[in-house]
Structures are given as structure tokens and as C-alpha cells.
Amino acid sequence: MSSLHKGFQVRQHRPWVVWLTVVLLVLMMAMFFYLGRDYQSYELEQVQLERETLVSRIAELETRNHNLLQKNAHLDGSSKIERDAYELANQELIKLQQELLAQKEELAFYRGIVSPKDAALGVNLQSFVMRKKNSQNQYSYKMILTKSGKSTRKISGGADVRIRGETAGGVSELKLIDLALENSGKVTKFSFKYFQVFEGDIALPEDFEPFEVEIGIKPTTKKVKSFSETISWTQVLSEGV
């Protein structure tokens, strides 16, 4: 009889080990969650601080701009010394106005990132610009997407960019992903917490005359709505959207 039960062994059951492991795992998950949330809050605070700094800088530049305008009006005389002083002041004014414009554009960008507290979670098309590179019908493009809403979740999805134009056979439509000169697989995919910038180069067919661009934003994140915008080619080349 003893030989039949020789292979059996009695093991002591320790349920506290299982519970201790579960508790430790829960504590570690909670710790990583709070650390991640604090880091995301820090990132957003840095963006808001940068925005406030830009507001202060713009106010300072506008004051200097106003003072230079008054100085130019005073120096607009007939003597050579006055004309030279006027020219120097005018050059400084032009440089200052360019800097002011750049600061305002940057501020507009940060305003797109820092959303109101009651804003719904979503994607914004911050800008889309095309620049002609050469006479071979090549263009560089830049598209910026930003997130609205205070959630720290990442938003993922794809952007369907189509360029419509006239050809000898009528009107045709070309996808940006098919026109890209490199990294075509990454042209339209996005996944970001605050914003994402898309840049690259495309080549249009020689007999293709574009007249508008349609941009479709299709998030895969739950509860984030899709949308599309159509922009004239003239606007895309001059200042973007």
C-alpha cells in the first residue's frame, strides 16, 4: 500500500503569499499612474509658462514698436544726419516688426495647445502650409495638429490629405501619401499628447494644376470626432490655414 502512494507529496498552501503579490502589484501600478500624471501636469505647466512668457514679450515688443514709430516721425527731416538716423531707426523698426510677428505666430501655436477647461477632447488642424521648392513642381509641406481638452490621453489616428487639380483629362485627385518623396508610410499617421508636426516634400505631375486641398482627420481614439477641411491652393501657398 505504501508503494502506491510514494509519488504523492503534501505541500503547504500559503495564501498570504498570493495576496501579498497582488497588493504589491496594485501599489506599483498606482505609483506609476501618479508619477505619470504628475509628469504630464509638469509638461503642461511648462507649455503654459512659455505662453505667458510670450505674452509678456509681445507686450514689450509692441511698446518698443510704438516708440520707434514716434522716433521715425520725429526724425523725418531734411538734413543728412536726420536722414541717416531715420534710416537706421527704420531698419530697426522693420526687424522689430518681423520679430513681433514671429512671436505672435508662436503665441497662436501655444494657444492651440492650451485649451479651455471645458473644451471637449479632440484634434485641431493648427496649420497647413505649402512652399514651392524649385521649377520641377516640387513642394515642401508642413502640417501641425494640436489637441483640445484637458485630458492627458494620447490621440491617435490618421490624416487623409488629398490635392485636387485640373489635368488635360479633367479634374483629378492625388493623395499626399502617394506624392511624398520619402517616408511615405509616416506622412499621415499621428499619435500625440499635445501636438504633432508633419513635414516633408512632394512632387506634383507636370500637367497637374492644383486648385484645392482637402484634409480629413480620422482619429482612432474613442470619443474623438473625425472632421475634414477644404482649403484653396492659393491660401495654402500664401499663408496656410
Q: Which tens digit of pLDDT belongs to each residue from 27-56?
A: 777 676 656 555 555 566 666 666 667 667
Closest CA to 200 of 218, 217, 209, 188: 188
> C-alpha grid cell for residue 170?
479633367
* 142-168 confidence digits (pLDDT tens): 998 888 877 677 889 999 999 999 988
| Alpha-carbon Rg for the chain in angstroms | 29
Threshold 0.95, pTM exceeds: no
Task: State residue 160's pLDDT score.
Answer: 93
Close Cβ partners of 61 (under 8 Å, ≥ 6 residues apart) = 96, 99, 100, 103
Stronger pLDDT, 211 or 223, i.e. the higher one = 211
Given CATH 2.60.40, say whether it is the number of domain 122-238: yes
Residue 226 has pLDDT above 90, yes or no: yes
Average pLDDT over residues 188-216: 90
Task: State residue 194's pLDDT score.
Answer: 80
For the ranges 77-81, 87-91, 229-233, the one whose mean pLDDT is highest: 229-233
CA dihedral 232, 234, 240, 241 (to 10 degrees): -30
Work out the mean pLDDT of the chain and round it to a whole number.
76
- Determine the residue type at 82: E
In the beta sheet, which residues pair with residue 117? Answer: none
Task: State residue 230's pLDDT score.
Answer: 94
Specify the domain boundaries for CATH 2.60.40 within the chain: 122-238
